[in-house]
Structures are given as C-alpha cells and as structure tokens.
Amino acid sequence: MNLILFHPDEISRPLPRQDPRAQHLLTVLRRRVGDTFDAGQTNGPRGKGTLLHLAPDHLQIRFDWEPAPPPPLDPLTLAIGLPRPQTARKILQEAAALGVQALHFVRTEKGEASYADSTLWHSGEWRRHLEHGTAQAFCTRLPALTHGNTLAGLLDTLPAPVHGIALDNYEAPGPLSKCHVIRDTRLFVFGPERGWSEGERELLRGRGLVFAHLGTRVLRLETAVVAAVAIFKAQRGAM
C-alpha cells in the first residue's frame, strides 16, 4: 500500500492489531512507536499518521491532515457488461488506480446472468478492491459504483446528451485514439465477454454513442479497460 486508507469513523478509534492495515504497518513498513506513515481518509484528505502506542491487541494512531484534494479535472465514467468475478476484481483495482470517477457493471443480453449473484457484489468485497486501487495510486477518492442495472436502465439515468464511446471490435469504424469525440467524452461503454447483441448496438447508437475499437488484437476485458482509459488520459494531456 502506498497510502493507508481509513474511513472517517475509524479515525478516533484504535486500529485492531489483526487488521490487515496494522499488519502492513508493522511487518511490511516496519513502523514502531514514534514513526509516521502516509494516511488518507476515504474520499477525504491525505496526511500523516503517527504510531503512538503498540498494545497487544491494537495500535494507537494520531492523524495530521492536509486540505482535502480538489475533484478530478477529467471525470470519466465506465459502464461494463458484468464479467466473471475474477475479471471484475482486476477491473475494480485498475480503474480505481487510474482515477475513474464512476463504475457501472450492467446486465447485458449476452452476459452470464449468474455473475450478478457473486458474493463480490453482495458481501461488499468490491469496496476493498476499490480501496486497494485507490491507495496504490496515493489517492483517497473512490469511484462511485453500481451493479446489476440493465444497459438501457443505466443510460436512462445519465443526463442528456450522452457524450460517450462504445468499445466494439466488430463494427467500430476506427481506433479509439483517432475517434473525433474522445476529447469531449465522459463515458466509455464496454460489452461483456461475449460481446454486444445487435439490439444493444442499436440502443447505443440511438443514444448517440460513437463506436471505436482498440486495434486488431483481441484483448481481455481488464486489459481493454486499462488501454482505453490510458488513451483517454493521454489525449487530454493527463498521462
């Protein structure tokens, strides 16, 4: 962890010694009483933590906070056809590390319906992966997240006009890097592992989304997400 994240309601409480963050402080960072470390409040400021006391069952920490960081300059939302859980875990961490503002995992016509029932979504495990990706990037802002809505249902919730790009290896007229609307884009839409249905392509076109591809190679979904966000940031001078 490059930054150790704490929820605001944890700041005034001792950190249990069995907590993974405590173990990281003691065994990986090798912090001892009086030492400091980089800390952050989830969706809040960064600062320094000072280890005040080591008890058999907890750590006592003092925090000194800096001003809260400003909101991102280039907010980007991703809508992704629900993938298998092990793929979703990778996407959660990588998208959070890259500073995506919101993630929406949607049900699609060709997607595997059982993926929506994974404990990843219903146990709250997804949040841990967002936190790991955010801490890796030395940031505190977690992406907003939804899961289980339909593609049409999600598009209905987005303000019009929708400035978005749908990634599609089959019917896209050109590469994402040369897409004429990429600098105005605020939404990328990725299909499930089996691709878009014709009805979904028509839905996306009808909502004004432009189609683009990532080249001739067939990429894993988690790789496509990283590549697309990197191209977006490069086009906007943020990478």
Q: CATH number of the domain at 34, please.
A: 2.40.240.20
Starting at the edge strand found earlier in the chain, the sheet holding 102-107 runs 144-150, 102-107, 77-81, 187-190, 164-167, 210-212
> Is residue 71 assigned to a domain?
no
Boundary-marking domain end, from 65, 85, 107: 65
Query: 101 and 55, same structural domain?
Result: no
pLDDT at residue 98 in the model: 95
Is 209 inside any structural domain?
Answer: yes
We report the CATH number of the domain holding residue 128 as 3.40.1280.10
Whether the ω angle into residue 72 lies within 30 degrees of 0, i.e. cis, is no
In a domain, 37, yes or no: yes
- Cβ neighbours of residue 127 closer than 8 Å, sequence gap 6 or more: 142, 145
Residue 71: predicted pLDDT: 74
Same domain, 50 and 108: no
**Residue 46 structure tokens:** 């960064």
Can you give the residue range of the structural domain that contains 159?
Answer: 77-235
Which pLDDT value is given to residue 130?
A: 97
* pLDDT score at 163: 83
Buried b (16+ CB within 10 A) or exposed e, 72-101: eeeebbbbbbbbbbebbbbbbbbbbbbbbb
Closest residue by Cα to residue 25 from 64, 65, 52: 52
Does one domain contain both 94 and 208? yes
Using CA atoms, how far apart are residues 108 and 57, in angstroms rounded to an integer?
47
How many Å apart are CA 163 and CA 156, to the nearest integer? 14
Whether 118 is in a domain gets the answer yes
C-alpha triplet 181, 95, 86: angle, nearest 5°: 125
Give 48's strand partners. 38, 64
Residues 49 and 158 in one domain: no
| Pair 44, 101 in one domain | no
How confident is the prediction along the chain (239 residues), in pLDDT tens digits per residue? 789 999 999 999 999 999 999 999 999 999 999 999 999 999 999 999 999 999 999 999 999 999 877 777 678 999 999 999 999 999 999 999 999 999 999 999 999 999 999 999 999 999 999 999 999 999 999 999 999 999 999 999 987 777 899 999 888 889 999 888 888 889 999 999 888 999 999 999 999 999 999 998 989 999 999 999 999 998 877 66
Q: Which residues contact 187 (CB under 8 A, 6 or more apart)?
A: 76, 77, 78, 79, 158, 162, 163, 164, 165, 209
**Is 57 in the same domain as 103?**
no
* Global pTM value: 0.91
Q: Give Cα 146 distance to the centre of its chain.
A: 11
Residue that is last in its domain, among 27, 42, 65: 65
Domain match, 162 and 229 both: yes
C-alpha span between 54 and 60 (Å, rounded)? 7
Query: Which residues, 6 or more positions from 237, have their beta carbon under 8 angstroms from its beta carbon?
Result: none
Same domain, 56 and 81: no
